[in-house]
Structures are given as C-alpha cells and as structure tokens.
Amino acid sequence: MRAADAGKLIGMTVAFARLDLETAVHEIANAGFSAVEVHGTHLGPGLPGVPVSERHAEAVGELIRSRGLVVSSLNVVDDATFDPHGGAEARRRTVEGLAAHLRLAAAMGAPRVLTFDGRAAADDTLHAAERLCDVVAGALELSGLSDPPDVSVELHPFTFALAHNAVAKLSSALRSAEAGICLDFCHFGVALGPSFLTALTDDVVAAVNHVHLADSDCVSSELHLPPGVGVLDLEAIVDRLSGRHLAIGWDLFGWPSPRAAVRDYRGRYAALVARHARAVSRAAP
C-alpha cells in the first residue's frame, strides 16, 4: 500500500536538532515541505528522566497536521536501549523498546518507525540478521496493534550489515519479517564508496521501504551533504528505485547550516522526488 508521505517533500526535525519541536516544525512548514519526519528526541520535553507517553505523540501529530503537513516517520535510530545482539536480557529490553516506539508512532499517525541494525561481529552476520528479525517480530506482536506502522532499518557504516557485507543477507531476512531497509545515501556512500549502486541488487531494492536522500563525500560518516555538494550520482540512485512507491525524506543530519541548505538546494531535492514520482507513474499498470 502506498504510504501517505510517498511523493511528498519530507523535512526532518533532526536537521534542527537544537530546536524545540514546535520551532522545528515551523521551520519545515515555512520552507515549503509537505511532510515531517520526527526524531524521537523531539517527542517529549527533552528533560532527563521524563517519560514520553502516547499522549505526547498524539500531540505531536496534532501539531504537524495543524500546519497542513503530513506525519512521516518516527525516527528512533539513536535509541541507546536498542541492542538486538546482546544477551537475552538485552534482547528482551530491545523488543519492549521497539514495541513502545511502534505504539508512539501509531499514536502520532506515523506510517513507519526507523530503527537500525546494531553492531555485531564479522563472523556473526547470519545470526545477526536472524536475531534482528526475531526482535522485529516480537515487537510487532508485543505492541498489541492490529495495524502497526512499518519497521524500516537504517544501516550505518559501523553497523553490521554495511560493515560486514551483509546487506543482501539482511534484506532477504527483513522481507520475510515484513520489514525493510531505509536506504540512506550518505551511509551507503561512506561504507561502500560512490559506486554503491552496484550493491543495490534486485533483492536489496525490493527490501527498501524508506529513503533518506543526501549527498556525500563518501568519507565523512554522519555528515549528510546537500544534493550536488558531494560526489554521488543522485539521479542514478533515484532511478534505481523506480517502480517502488517510496517516501523520500531529505536528510541534512550533521549539516551545520540547514536553513541555508534548504534555501539553496530545495529545488534539487524536489526535482529528485518528482523524478521518482514520474518513474513510479510510468511503471504503474
């Protein structure tokens, strides 16, 4: 099913990590975006020890929609409690944490939760993929939701799938668990180099259920460059995803001047989203 944020221009609150949520949403709305991806740290008041409830998430969704925007993903990629490759107790806490995030996303009206694949040893990639899928399945069941948000796993240069050449293996496992991969152009570029397109086999592309569009110098991990500033062939990557109904968020995480980037490069991002939408329309039966 096509998500409500597919084809939308998606701004991410993590680009404005130092701002409170209300100010971040104001910046995103005024910049001409049509959807908002919310970072988990923006859900609550940001004070240590203050729990975040589903009512917090409902209020966040209400705020976003009051600005005429669509709610996109809930991004909890940096959740410190997420440890699917620890011992049994760590996995239990991870399942409980992901289930709670699924309920928060549902309360907010988000179509998906973004998490990550975790760190694992190079000789443990097969079992790591299986463990991660078991965690996802356990969280979906524990959430108690009849129609839970999708789970999208964002790979990083230092987490097991990209670090240990296990992207294809994880892609296959996640599809069997009814989850998928968040293709972050920057992370793939840093891990695999500017020609990472060759790693996007048909099986990997079929597992992609969300996209973080960014350019990259293919050196600086966690620094997402505006489109055209780095060395990636963004059009070729977007074209590789043709035929898939995907939401494509603009990731500016780490970029020190997000307002200037939006002012100067929003047109390039919008053109890439439109390019993908046209390709989807052509491929439709």
pLDDT of residue 285: 63
**Using one digit for the tens of pLDDT, what is the confidence trace for 44-103?**
988 878 899 999 999 999 999 999 999 999 999 988 889 999 989 999 999 999 999 999
Q: Angle, to 10 degrees, between the axis of helix 54-66 and the axis of helix 88-108?
A: 40
The DSSP annotation for 162-202 comes to HHTT-HHHHHHHHHHTT-EEEEEHHHHHHHH-TTGGGG--H
Do 77 and 114 touch, CB atoms closer than 8 A? yes
**Using one digit for the tens of pLDDT, what is the confidence trace for 181-217?**
999 999 999 999 999 999 999 999 999 999 999 999 9
One-letter amino acid of 220:
S
CA angle 64, 68, 71 (to 5 degrees): 40
Distance, CA of 39 to chain centre: 10
Signed CA dihedral, 200, 70, 15, 139: sign only = negative
Judged against a pLDDT cut of 60, whether residue 122 lies above it is answered with yes
Where residue 119 falls (left for φ over 0; alpha for ψ -120 to 50; beta otherwise) is: beta
Do 114 and 210 touch, CB atoms closer than 8 A? yes
Q: Hunting for tokens 């500016």 — which residue is that?
A: 252
Q: What is the mean pLDDT of residues 19-25?
A: 97
- pTM reported for the whole predicted model: 0.96
The residue count of the chain comes to: 285
One-letter amino acid of 152:
S
Query: Torsions phi, psi of 253, nearest 5?
Result: -55, 130
Q: Identify any residues that bridge with 248 across adjacent strands, giving them in sequence order.
A: 211
